[in-house]
Amino acid sequence: MVSASSSSPDGAPAAGRRVALLTLGCARNEVDSEELAARLDADGWQVTTDGDGADVVLVNTCGFVEKAKQESIQTLLAAAESGARVVAAGCMAERYGRELHDSMPEAQAVLGFDDYPEISARLSSVLAGERVDSHVPRDRRELLPITPVARRGNAVVLPGHGGPVAEPVTDEHTPAHLRSVLRRRLGAGPVASLKLASGCDRRCSFCAIPAFRGAFVSRTPDELLAEAEWLAGTGVRELVLVSENSTSYGKDLGDPRALEKLLPQLAAVRGIARVRVSYLQPAETRPGLVEAIAGTPGVAPYFDLSFQHSSEPVLRRMRRFGSTERFLELLGTARRLAPEAGARSNFIVGFPGETRRDVDELVRFLTEARLDAIGVFDYSDEDGTEAAGLPGKVPAATVRRRYDRLIRLADELCSQRAEERLGAEVEVLVDTVADGVVEGRAAHQAPEVDGSTTLVAPDGAADLAALRPGDLVRAKVTGTEGVDLVAEPVELVSAAG
């Protein structure tokens, strides 16, 4: 973490002030929160994730879909009831700004991404009872050049990318371990997200994210390696690479194969046992990247592919590309390279114009795809998206029936896929050891979304008391519970440091 002044920019000492940082939404938001935590900690704030006794509650909101927005509003209201000053930041705040502030007087301030470098000054002003101007939303795609390679060096705030620091002075020749890292971990587990990039250049008709997250910008390999080494030094054993679109990594650096080159470097970082890539766009997933994910030692053979649907007519209205056959071919390629490879995806049902035939096509794909995890979302109009104005809206009752059908099918298919792993050996990264229960995740199980693996001692064998969070264990699958596995340890592959 970088060092900074111990007083706020307005001259008032921040020492002793307590800020609770509550994070909603995706792993990308978690990285953004840890950057905010570093800025606040360096300026003397006591940073916590517990709102009790806090002077300020800073809520890093999610603004992706209606359900996430409602959760953000409820969290802000609950924080206000504690008596603390409440500040909204994050995606919902960036997306709605002054409109959110006007509709929610319980929040003393609504901050946008441009406020992040001065977050300490903003919170100090809130505590002093001063008026903080609400963020005024704008299309952040317009802040950067259209041409990706022309975006480097532009003075646009990119959450989770760090920022300029006074010392130590670094350049392109500075070794990774000597580079500054603007991050303070808010958790202590053996897994952490590493943000590859921010923004997205795709124009999916249902998605508002590019408008408030901006155009796609990669972090440089040197930045990522420095942060990976720093994370490893805090006890992290698994890196989860996150972004809005990981398959675009490097296009603005002039190297579309940058991720393929970066993966073995990250896997070689001392202390890191596993690297996992998330948020892959099927249309951009090149053969070389498939090979790198499937065949690089230390990289999980795991394919988090954003299919969204498989019917070509629906995909075209979504402004996406692909089909059942093309998606099955992509999965087949990955499994030929790594038969044990895991795969997950999310799907939207009830998109405008979706017919029963489209749903049947999606069912056919899911039945043949053998995915380890399936997320299903019922379509809802999102402000500012093309899809909100499309004709052919599916009645709400029909959307609900289709959603219920797909959810039941997904549960059944994912349970069947887990059963296919009975008798196989998997490598399990231990997440927790508590009251004799050892729980972790195999390579096909990402944190929080894909199930877990419970390690049990075979009859007559020693107990599991010697295992610790962060250990990587080879184990044989002996049982399943839905998508979750039960496995017996075979050997310790790599011990936590």
Q: Find where tokens 């938001």 sit.
A: 29
Task: Mark 35-66 as b/e (b = at least 16 C-beta within 10 Å).
Answer: bbbbbbbbbbbbbbeebeebbbbbbbbbbbbe
Closest CA to 156 of 139, 176, 172: 139
SS percent in the chain: helix, strand, coil, step 5: 35, 20, 45
Q: Minimal CA–CA distance to 272: which of 192, 343, 338?
A: 192
> In 3-state terms, what secondary structure has residue 18?
strand
Terminal-residue alpha carbon distance, the chain:
21
Helix (H) or strand (E) holding 475: strand 472-481
Of 25, 302, 39, residue with least CA distance to 164: 39
Establish whether 414 is an annotated binding residue.
no
The answer on whether 26 is annotated among ligand-binding residues is: yes
Confirm or deny that 91 is annotated as ligand binding: yes
- Which residue type does 260 have? E
* Angstrom distance (rounded) from CA 177 to CA 364: 49
Give the pairing type, strands 302-304 and 274-277. Answer: unpaired
Q: Which residues sit in the known binding site? A: 26, 62, 91, 200, 204, 207
Annotated binding site for [4Fe-4S] cluster: 26, 62, 91, 200, 204, 207
